[in-house]
Amino acid sequence: MKELEILASNIKRHRHLQGLQQKQLAAKVGISSDYLSKFERAAMPNIGMKLLSRFANVLGVETSALLRNDDEATPMMLVISEQNFKTLKRLFERILEAISKIE
């Protein structure tokens, strides 16, 4: 993976871990959501140190964490809405009920 792709991937991963949407992170960093979207796809040619530092500060990580190609990186956290959580809960309850009938 190229350096820019590693950086883009790490920013996206840390954004997800913080539960932020692109629009939210872009506003906190002071860039447009379109620019962030292009950057997360590694479609931007480069990033300045000031912007890199702002990303790190907003995401609560060291700058080096955004540059590191870490095979044992923190896994992504799944963020779901309350409505989807309730739907999943009902689904699992039905599955457990069906299993109990089999046993």
* Residue-level pLDDT at 79: 67
Checking if the pLDDT of 39 tops 90, the result is no
pLDDT digits (tens, 9 = 90+) for 56-82: 999 999 998 898 887 555 555 566 788
List, in sequence order, the alpha helices (H) in 1-103: 3-17, 22-29, 33-40, 49-59, 63-67, 82-102
92, two tokens? 């699992």
- C-beta separation of 29 from 1 below 8 A: no
What is the model's pTM? 0.66
What's the whole-number mean pLDDT along residues 23-38? 94
Q: What is the mean pLDDT of the chain?
A: 86
Q: Walk me through the domains of the chain, giving residue ranges and CATH numbers.
A: 3-74 (1.10.260.40)
* Residue-level pLDDT at 57: 95
